[in-house]
Structure 1
């Protein structure tokens, strides 16, 4: 049954390179690998689903777009949950030492720079106007050391992957020199 020009995909049978037939329904999308969804989208864009009717192709296209939007939104929500927990817009930021692995390098670097300014008692516009106590400075020093250690370990692992052959250097040898 179609309402407003949209129907749902009953069942699609696809033959892969290994000559096996696979049946897919719209309800199976969450259980599929994302590469399978990507393959479906490529087949749609390249118009290689000529054996299917136009209505089925249109329904598959709509279903795949809706599913990819859902996946993207879920990924954004997951990234936000792993990010810096911020309350009252840019106040009361909380970052725990045992959760540093959740943050990307750029976030850790920017937090490290702010903490460095607090330790050195620098007056910056982005910092609050309050006077930082010695306890705040000691905590900032501990956090800076932990962030430096986390960034160092990540650089070391990246360079090890490159050395073993997991990644290409892409003509950027500064990372290798920085770790050595």
Structure 2
């Protein structure tokens, strides 16, 4: 009987609600280019011997059918799995899932890279709720191991790409690329005005300094800043009258174009916040330690 390929360590899930966190990062910590990955650390297999590392990484970097497995439909159950032994360990060959349309889908572990984070959340919830007990103990252990490894992979990637989730030592270089403030004349715009070129929104940090947030740099801002901007835009969309004078707009009218641009920003911000919520859940699933305030936040969002 082979051993399951398990490699999970404690991880800390962090939540940063501070408004203006981006302005508090010291200048010497910012870099010009994004970081590089330590591939073995990213998969959580740094302590494996080389041949086994190479075998595992090669299997998962091989091509799969993205269109066949990438869907937002919820995973309802796991029908069965197939495994194979190699180097004294058991690896998952394929898994048969039943999604919300009640159809069965067959995926290999190499297809995990095409799944959404919510799919891994579904698999973890099935395990926690006892819906995998129809599998043999060995198959259940192998499936849990595979999901743990790929959840660790997802979490580390997200940490590297989004420093607000907490910096750990899994990467060779910190990904603190500084937000850019290059919209011409933005300091003369009203607060929370959406600029067309480049796509950005103006706001004031906690020190009262007017800043901008570019549309393609939303991921560089803390949850507190995103909540502040989202709430302000939501108020303007719901309360401001189109083609009329409104409080806070002394020199121009609120237009339908302003409404549409604000809704686009709100959608992008809410999507980013939802993604962070899912990743905080995933970190807690694989043994991460979360603070008490974060736990109350997770319970409210679930």
Normalising by structure 1, we get a TM-score of 0.50
Greater Cα radius of gyration, structure 1 or 2: 1
Higher strand share: 2
If asked which structure has higher relative contact order (CA below 8 Å, sep 6+), I would say 2
Normalising by structure 2, we get a TM-score of 0.32
Higher helix share: 1
